[in-house]
Structure 1
Amino acid sequence: MPTPPSTSVRTVGRTVAAAAIALFVVAGCDTSSSAPSPVPGTTAPRQVTVVGEGKVDGTPDTLTIGLSIAATAPDAIGASNLASSRIAAVTDAIAGQGVDRKDVATTSVTLQPQYGQDGTTIVGYQSSNSVDVKVRRVDTGPQVLGAITTAGGDATRIDSVTYSIEDDSQYVRDARQRAFDDARNRAQQYAQLSGLSLGKVLSISETGSGAPPPTPLPRVDARAAAVPLSPGQQTVGFSVTVVWELT
């Protein structure tokens, strides 16, 4: 008479069958978005992904000078009035160099007490006026700086001198065009090497800073008689990643 299967064998058989069913269910329910399944009856499109670079150099057309004028007096009103009169004289001198007064903008006004050696007794007040001067004729930069230091005297502090491109929109467009053209040329080469042709663009993504930040120059000594300045060149650049379909 045949010996019936033992209870342990039947249990193992049921366990294996249940595991197989569970594995089938998990595999059938995998809907990971990172690898979407193609539509039934179709194949995934052939594609090529390339990165293109585009850069354009431009000459800065604007010089921005950041300066401060300080004044000290025994009382707050005296210090404030003295600083105001000095900054007014500097503004007049700047305008005399052909700079439009609307291009002279106040950035800060401060008034602080000055303490004696004991650290508690107020012995006077210091007032400081800071302005930014936008020079649109960059070749006149040295003359403008000279006028500032002459009018402000030893109370003048040149905080910053930076060059920039005021309207960089055309440089940005040109850099993008060069980046895309570079990507397309690369993609066409890969398509030819693989015996295929470029189809439609599937995606475009861009990285890059576009216009560079203003170029700062070393701090200028207000006592310098003449300061040589050179705008140099600034680069606008983009990197673009493009995916093309291959046909």
Structure 2
Amino acid sequence: MTTPEATPEATAMPYGTPDTPRVAVRGEAHLEVDPEIARVGITVSARGPDRRTALEDLTRRNNHVLELVKSYGEAVENLETGSFTITPQLTDKGRHEKIRAYHGRVHIQATLTDFTALGELVTRLADLELTRVDGPWWALRRDSPAHREARQQAVREAVQRAREYAGALGAQLAALVELADQGAENAAPAGMPQNPAGRMMRSAGYGGAPAPDAPALDLEPQRQTVYAQVNARFTMTRPEL
């Protein structure tokens, strides 16, 4: 009985050979950059003794908020309405439940690129009747050049680290075998939870006439951290041991 000859692929070592060793490294990059956009959440509320009154008040206040935000023109990159609710408020528990009032809410999100206008806008919004303001949440755009720069810097660091390891052995890098994002080798995606970046300011407007010439809020944009990580494998020349 003869034994089949081993093919070169079967005898090849997955981590290199003495004549062609491999070196595996990780490259990382951390950048601190200024934010590009700021998001603000706006909640408009209304309350009325009946459904029609609550809806009319909510519509009026919602239109006022939208007109105010749109008046800032190009400073507003995006404006969208999220959820709308109208809820009956029942009387205290008893044998016969009755509706005392109706509560309505509309949630709006505005994205701004002009941070000077942002401080004035949030102050004017918070000065409106039954209007709540949440934010700002500072962020970068998904296609921000900062992400590309971080990835490129991570690759350069991986090459430099591999070159230093090879040099410590009296060898030189020969070829790139693999370059992968962190987690790209796994079947399951290695997602990182995204936390809305930045300090959050909350404010609410209550009933009554708005104060004239409300001062603009001075906001300091929070710098954003951009992180990139890659895994790289290289072959190198034979070490001089």
TM-score by shorter chain over 0.5 = yes
Greater shift, 168-177 or 75-84, is seen at 168-177
Pairwise CA distance, 1:43: 4.5
Say yes or no: does 1:201 pair with 2:171.
no
Matches of 1:231 and 1:211, distance apart in 2 = 22
1:217 corresponds to which residue? 199
User: What does 1:77-156 align with in structure 2 at a 5 Å threshold?
Assistant: 77-98=52-73, 103-118=78-93, 120-150=97-127, 152-153=128-129, 155-156=130-131
Structure 1 or 2: more helix by fraction = 1
Provide closer, same or farther for how the CA distance between residues 95 and 38 of structure 1 changes in structure 2, counting only shifts above 3 A. Answer: closer
TM-score by length of 1: 0.75
Identical pairs, percent: 24
Pairwise CA distance, 1:159: 3.3
Q: Confirm or deny: 8 A CA contact 1:57 1:234 kept in the other structure.
A: yes
Say yes or no: does 1:229 pair with 2:211.
no
Q: Deviations over 1:138-179 (max 9, x none)?
A: 1211100122123x22x0112332111125441121111111
Greater shift, 93-102 or 166-175, is seen at 93-102
Matches of 1:165 and 1:101, distance apart in 2 = 15
Q: Which amino acid aligns with 2:104?
A: S
1:180 corresponds to which residue? 155
Q: Confirm or deny: 8 A CA contact 1:109 1:127 kept in the other structure.
A: yes
Specify the SS of the correspondent of 1:175. Answer: helix
1:60 corresponds to which residue? 35
Work out the number of aligned pairs and report it.
Answer: 212
Pairwise CA distance, 1:58: 1.8
Give unpaired runs (5+ residues) of structure 1. 1-27
Matches of 2:117 and 2:133, distance apart in 1 = 16
Q: Confirm or deny: 8 A CA contact 1:172 1:210 kept in the other structure.
A: no
Pairwise CA distance, 1:217: 2.7
2:209 corresponds to which residue? none
Greater shift, 66-75 or 214-223, is seen at 214-223
Pairwise CA distance, 1:239: 1.3
Q: Confirm or deny: 8 A CA contact 1:53 1:237 kept in the other structure.
A: yes
Pairwise CA distance, 1:99: 5.5
Matches of 2:156 and 2:61, distance apart in 1 = 55
Give unpaired runs (5+ residues) of structure 2. 184-190, 206-213
| Bigger Rg, structure 1 or 2 | 1
